[in-house]
Amino acid sequence: MLDVRKLLAQRPLLFDGGMGTYYKAKPGQECEQANLTDPDGILAVHRAYLAAGADAIKTNTFSLPRLAAAQQPGWEKLADAGWQLAAKAAGETGAAVFADLGPAPDTENLPAEQVYLAVAKRFALLGARNFLFETLSTEEGVLEAIRALKQTVPEAFVLVSFAVLPDGYTREGRYCAELVRRMAQSGVVDAVGLNCVSAPGAMRALVQQLGDAGLPLSVMPNAGYPVVARAQVRYQGKPAYFARELSRLAAEGVRILGGCCGTTPQHIAALRTALDALPEALPAAPAAKPAAVAKPVVETDDAFLRKLRTGQRVIAVELDSPKDADLTAYLEGARRLQAAGADLLTIADCPIARARMDSSLVACRVHRELGMNVLPHMTCRDRNLNATKALLLGLYAEGVREVLAITGDPIPTAERDEVKNVYQFNSRKLAQYIVSLAGEGREMPSPITVFGALNLNARNFEVELRRAAEKLENGMSGFLTQPLLSAQAVENLKKTRETLGERAKILAGILPVVSQRNAIFMENEVNGIHVDEAIIQKFEGLDRTAGEELGLEVSVQAAKAAAPYADGFYLMTPFNRVALMERLIARLRTEVTD
């Protein structure tokens, strides 16, 4: 069998094309099932790519990590059959065989690391020494699995390849250059690259962003972009164009080339011819991207962030956007809160999954007209990657420099047939994506600061605290907490400060209870809020005026209890009672913050 390392030292390595799109599986059947149900058909595809000139072929096992994670019976037999078919075909020409592993789901019960390792070890037992982890949108679990694999198979050659959109980000919002850098610096990955999603021209532009990765670089684009005709997906990219674009990459130093979706033996044959026509002496890596021209210094902080980072206690106030299209009263309320001493206005993103005026548009209007610092909430519930990016670019252009990234309340059950969740991200991945948009050659000249939510009332607070640490690792700068309406919430806030230290900016949540009915409703129907029974009983029989007075007193006492562990306060306005919040801000400024 071909020694991949020796070949790469002499010339570029040519892979096969897209098995899944070339082999026509029966409707509803996984392509991998054909390893057992139609072995001759799979063998014929392998032989066609080898006849076209491929130096290496992939086992027909792309979906195995997903099947193994689902604990589907028989995935091991699919692996065995897939390996045996590829090895048989490759043995006829001396080509290399790569055990092919697609993305593995990552869950708390079964981490991706365990799934990758189980599948990779299965192939190692069969004799595999070359491994391809492909079409990944994140590196979760990959490096850990490879380290463990190389303890068993030290001589293993491992190629890791990411699926990247033409703008340079994966579908989970990871920036390609950062992913490639992590693989190159890991010390256990032998080659790294990009595959799928993008067409040859876009892939070439992406490679130019990577510069010299320090490892052999792999490029396996789709034949083009898919066209759906009569429920059939077709790729119309021509072999000649495919070969021309990839041979240019080879001339610039890319060492591993091949094809993904839509690439046929004809594409690989054309590329073989083009590669054979190249001069023998080729650069070992793509030319580094030229240094960028120096740009003016960009203001990265606003008044709120500067105050927070210099240790002054801040006050943020949440005011829900209108349910209709009239902002007149809302802007007046925001103006009053600003005059009262609020440092920041936060706007929820369709709370409890019911439509209100868009939080980001409202934030831009408030910032533009009042010059007030704003923190729009951004949920993962309603937008995919494209919509999220478009909104973030608009916010940055409007001068908004911070957002709150949250998963978002689920759509109520009764509405799910008509209103669909999106959830392409969770809040950690969304934060990671937002901060990745800033940097040299990227979309934003300076980063947007990302805050997250912290539920001090979570039943299993240890899990909540662990997630908070993960959020910090993924780019968040701090947290706005759920309201403190119990002694346990204060204790959990203290534990948060002790655990996370000063690296996390914490705004303690304060929500004035205004009546017993209000307190009972929040305790029983609002997710993430817990009101002590003693507080509920205090409001019995009080009218509106007395209820607001007691609510103010409870809120001030909660703020005093939270003050030693918080960098500021996050005030939630009940029923849009701006006058009540003006009084609360005044008391906090007098009794707590100043």
Q: Which residues of 494-509 are buried (b: 16+ CB within 10 A; e: fewer)?
A: bebbeebeeebbbbbb
Residue 367 region by backbone torsions, left for phi larger than 0, else alpha for psi between -120 and 50, else beta: alpha
Short-list 5, 96, 11, 588, CA closest to 280: 11
| Beta-bridge partners for 100 | 132
Helices and strands per DSSP (H, E), number in the chain: 23, 18
Closest residue by Cα to residue 78 from 96, 64, 98 = 64
Cα–Cα dist 118/474, whole Å: 27
Place of tokens 């607070």: 461
Q: The tokens of 3 are what?
A: 């020694």
Whether residue 65 contacts residue 101, with contact meaning beta carbons closer than 8 Å, is answered with yes
Please report, for residues 87, 226, 432, 523, the alpha-carbon distance to residue 237 in angstroms, rounded to integers and kept in the order given: 30, 9, 34, 59
Contact partners, residue 177, CB within 8 Å, separation at least 6: 168, 209, 210, 211
- Give the total residue count for the chain: 594
Give the number of C-alpha atoms closer than 13 A to the C-alpha of residue 225, restricted to the C-beta side: 6
Written as six digits, the tokens of 443 are 């979309």
Instruction: Give phi and psi for 162, each to the nearest 5.
Output: -110, 145
Name residue 583's amino acid.
Answer: R
* Strands 402-406 and 449-454, sheet pairing: parallel
Distance CA 117, CA 428 (A): 25
Q: Alpha-carbon distance 264 to 51, whole Å?
A: 12
CB-CB contact of 216 with 183 (8 Å): no
Of 399, 398, 403, 401, nearest to 383 by C-alpha is: 403
Tell whether 261 is in a known binding site: yes
User: Where do we find the tokens 């007046």?
Assistant: 332
Give me the sign of the Cα torsion angle 452, 457, 458, 461: positive
Per residue, what are the HEC states of 65-107?
HHHHHCCCCCHHHHHHHHHHHHHHHHHCCCCEEEEEECCCCCC
364 is in an annotated binding site: no
> Mind giving me the DSSP string for 412-472?
PGGGTTTS----SS-HHHHHHHHHHTBSTTSSBSSPPEEEEEE-TT-SSHHHHHHHHHHHH
Sign of the C-alpha dihedral computed for residues 206, 207, 212 and 213 taken in this order: positive
Task: For residue 413, give the DSSP letter.
Answer: G
Token digits for 370?
């009042």
Residue in 559, 392, 577 with CA at minimum distance from that of residue 489: 559
Residue 591 is given by DSSP the state I
Closest CA to 64 of 82, 47, 49: 82
Q: Which residues are annotated as a binding site?
A: 196, 260-261
Q: Which residues are annotated as a binding site for Zn(2+)?
A: 196, 260-261
